[in-house]
Amino acid sequence: MNIMDFNVKKFAADAGTFLSRAVQFTEEKLGQAEKTELDAHLENLLSKAECTKLWTEKIMKQTEVLLQPNPNARIEEFVYEKLDRKAPSRMNNPELLGQYMIDAGNEFGPGTAYGNALIKCGETQKRIGTADRELIQTSAINFLTPLRNFIEGDYKTITKERKLLQNKRLDLDAAKTRLKKAKVAEARAAQLNTSQPEENNIMIWAEEVTKSEQEVRITQSEFDRQAEITRLLLEGISSTHAHHLRCLNDFVEAQMTYYAQCYQYMLDLQKQLGSFPSTFLSNNNQSSLTPAPSVSASSVLASASASLPSVSNSVNTSGFSELKASSGSRKARVLYDYDAANSSELSLLADEVITVYSVPGMDSDWLMGERGNQKGKVPITYLELLN
């Protein structure tokens, strides 16, 4: 019974405190009550903490998007993390692409130029996939985890203490409001001193003033104590910044390692495929049914023009020389597909017939081509002049 009475009294006291805070907060919003302002240093610390939390969340989320672009995979990893279980291992995008390339290369035949190149590219993609896994793991441990610990740990503590500070401030201001009202009532009672009941009324309000002053001193002490606790926590934000700076350096180093590995892998692959163009041309000579590859970058024209002259029946060098020396035009058949590298060039389709002519000052490996209303530069190595 006594315990029940205690719980009822505690509940009533808590309800009274909550109501008092609600009234004080509402009157402050309506401009009917004064509000104790925090000192400028504490306000700056609170603003710095909010700014840190906001940008830490944004950086953390975008880093997760960078490391794992697939939103479904991110959700799955989040669910497994909350369940404290390990997510099933799956191939990432480079590894999956690499496996497809290797399977295709084996299907086409490792002895063929294309099949061999696919296998080499697939192996490189798998190495990149492994490097990608290492980047994700290192970044998660050294960068994302400290950021998440701040959001879910330190900042939650700061938020809790800040809420307590807000409650202590409301208690203090409510006590000040009650003291102010008690003093006003006491002054009015003192003006009316014509009868005994009014003297008793003065005594009552004097006691109320004394009680309110004591309440103000207690709430002021509790507010000052909570303000100091909150300030000490907020001053730790500077240490958080220093820690996050070290984590950022670790993240940059992990990225540097990853991109350096990828560059080295692709450099090695490029060296392995260095003989690919000549091999392809020899395969092209063996089977006239095999079409030449589409070329999308003008940077490969040098290697193409160096190897294509061996096909003497496809390029009439003297004919092109005569055309460049004259001001006339000729019809030419396109030997291979060609994708224009920019707006000044003309895309070509194999076996189509276009009109070509020379323009003064044009590079010796190029002519101006026309197809209906379209015109642009075309490489002569892709053309066969018609009689």
pLDDT one-digit tens code per residue, 189-233: 777 655 445 556 667 777 888 888 899 999 999 999 999 999 999
What is residue 201's predicted lDDT score, i.e. its pLDDT? Answer: 66
Residue 181 has pLDDT above 90, yes or no: no
Range scoring the smallest mean pLDDT among 169-173, 220-224, 275-279: 275-279
pLDDT at 89: 74
Tokens, residue 168: 């202590």
Burial class (CB in 10 A: 0-12, 13-18, 19+), 261: middle
What average pLDDT does this structure show over 265-286? 65
> Which amino acid, residue 31?
G
CA distance 118 to 99: 10
The confidence score (pLDDT) of residue 209 equals 83
Judged by average pLDDT, the poorest of 25-29, 62-66, 193-197 is 193-197
Share of the chain above pLDDT 70, in %: 74
> Tens of pLDDT along 34-56?
778 888 999 999 999 999 999 99
Identify the pLDDT of residue 68.
83
Tell me what pLDDT residue 275 has: 53
The packing angle between helices 196-235 and 40-67, to 10°, is: 40
Cα angle 372, 374, 380 (rounded to 5 degrees) comes to 100
Confidence at residue 134, expressed as pLDDT on a 0 to 100 scale = 94
Q: What is the mean pLDDT of the chain?
A: 80
Whether the Cβ atoms of residue 209 and residue 186 lie closer than 8 Å to each other: yes
What type of residue is 98? G
Stretch among 75-79, 151-155, 258-262, 313-317 having the lowest mean pLDDT: 313-317
Q: Is 331 helix (H, G, I), strand (E, B) or coil?
A: strand
Range of weakest confidence among 62-76, 133-147, 335-349: 62-76
What is the three-class DSSP state of 292?
coil
Check if the beta carbon of residue 322 is closer than 8 Å to that of residue 384: no
Length of the chain as a residue count = 387
Say which residue, 44 or 113, is predicted with more confidence.
Answer: 44
Determine the pLDDT at residue 329: 87
Give residue 281's pLDDT. 42
- Higher pLDDT among residues 278 and 158, named by residue: 158
The β-bridge relationship of strands 366-371 and 329-334 is unpaired
